[in-house]
Amino acid sequence: MEYSDPSLLDFLCGIARDVLVQSCDKYYEHNLEAYLQVFLSFVQCIRRWFPIQERDDNIADNNEEMELDLMNDLLEYIKNTEEAERLMETEEFEQETGRSVEEMYKEDLKSREDNVLDYDDKVTEEKRPLPEHVSVTSCILKRCVMFVVGQRRAAAALALATLAAGLPVLESYHDELLPLVHQAWGPLAHRLATYEPLVWRRALDLLVTTATLARDFIHNRCVKEVMPHIYSQLKKWCESNVKDSCAYRDRVLMDTQEAALRALPPLLARVGARHRHLLDAFTCVQMFLSKKQPEPLQKLAVEFFVSMLNYDEGYTWHHLRSLCDNKDELPPPHTGPVQLHAFAGTPYRTENEDIHSNIQAIFETKCGHYHINK
């Protein structure tokens, strides 16, 4: 299918529908992996024929480019507070508007009554039929959900890969996307709670995709039901790395740890994680800053904190300051008439030699000078 084009869409959809029917027949269960491979190939073709605009991977806050000016913000807040208090003075407000508060209230009430819709006369607009490739993709993904928690690991991995590749096709069709995300959530959470290397990595990919497409829909469930399992696995692996100095030779385990550390920054950003949930992530990942960890994992831990500085600089800065636990003084900025005192404790240096080089690397990376000191 590498050199195919959309002119084959009707034929490909027909094949996919036939395979969907066969996959429901228990007498053909021995062909399950082959069926799932067909589904994955179909979704990959659809993604290639109908490109989806890639989302920006920059997880920095929207205000990243704006200079933070606390004094201006404070003065603006005081001004707005005074204005609100002034408007609360009924007599002064009535003099400015020329009408009493009661008259304005009655006017607003009448306006609302005039604008009330007669819902009995409203005609429900019929939904437009889904494009053929979207309809078939939706059917395939619903079928794949059923194989995520099966006993056959290869089938589960293929089903998860198909879901991760296929969900973006439904991005513009929320009536199809959200019910499917809800249906897949239970099996996905189960796979992330039980560690099987290949399946776990595929489940992690699907989690990031789901968080990208349905952030508000899964936010609470993600941070409460799934993230603790990811942190638990990372802590377990981290302790194992220290005990076994040859842990890096286990390529499968290393790949899984790298995948988890690489997935955390976009995952936290896309679910909109804030302080309490960021603290859980920071406490987990900071263990990989130790020089006793394999070097690739140290590098990913450094990159994690650099990404978090871009995402929530204030909270990340404060956490690193607490981690460094030094008495260095940070001179205050010049703020004109207001005199500020020096700040005790910085995130730039620590006396803990185990993490010192990587703490420095975090801020060197942020400034574009990355290296790990051995």
Q: What is d(CA 5, CA 216) in angstroms, rounded to the nearest whole number?
A: 35
∠ CA 108-114-118, rounded to 5°: 135
Query: Mean pLDDT of residues grouped by 10 in the chain (374 residues)?
Result: 76 90 81 92 91 64 46 73 69 62 69 60 67 93 92 92 94 92 94 91 95 89 92 92 72 92 93 89 94 93 94 90 85 69 81 90 69 40
Q: What is d(CA 231, CA 5) in angstroms, rounded to the nearest whole number?
A: 43
In a domain, 97, yes or no: no
| Count of domains forming the chain | 1
pLDDT at 336: 61
The pTM (predicted TM-score) of the whole model is 0.77
In a domain, 38, yes or no: yes
In a domain, 372, yes or no: no
pLDDT at 236: 92
pLDDT at 65: 41
In a domain, 145, yes or no: yes
Output the CA torsion 88→90→95→100 (10° steps): 120
In a domain, 20, yes or no: yes
Other Cβ atoms closer than 10 A to 65:
7
Domain that includes residue 152, residue range: 1-52+131-212
In a domain, 152, yes or no: yes
pLDDT at 6: 79
Q: What is the CATH number of the domain that holds 189?
A: 1.25.10
In a domain, 178, yes or no: yes
Residue in 149, 249, 244 with CA at minimum distance from that of residue 192:
149
In a domain, 161, yes or no: yes
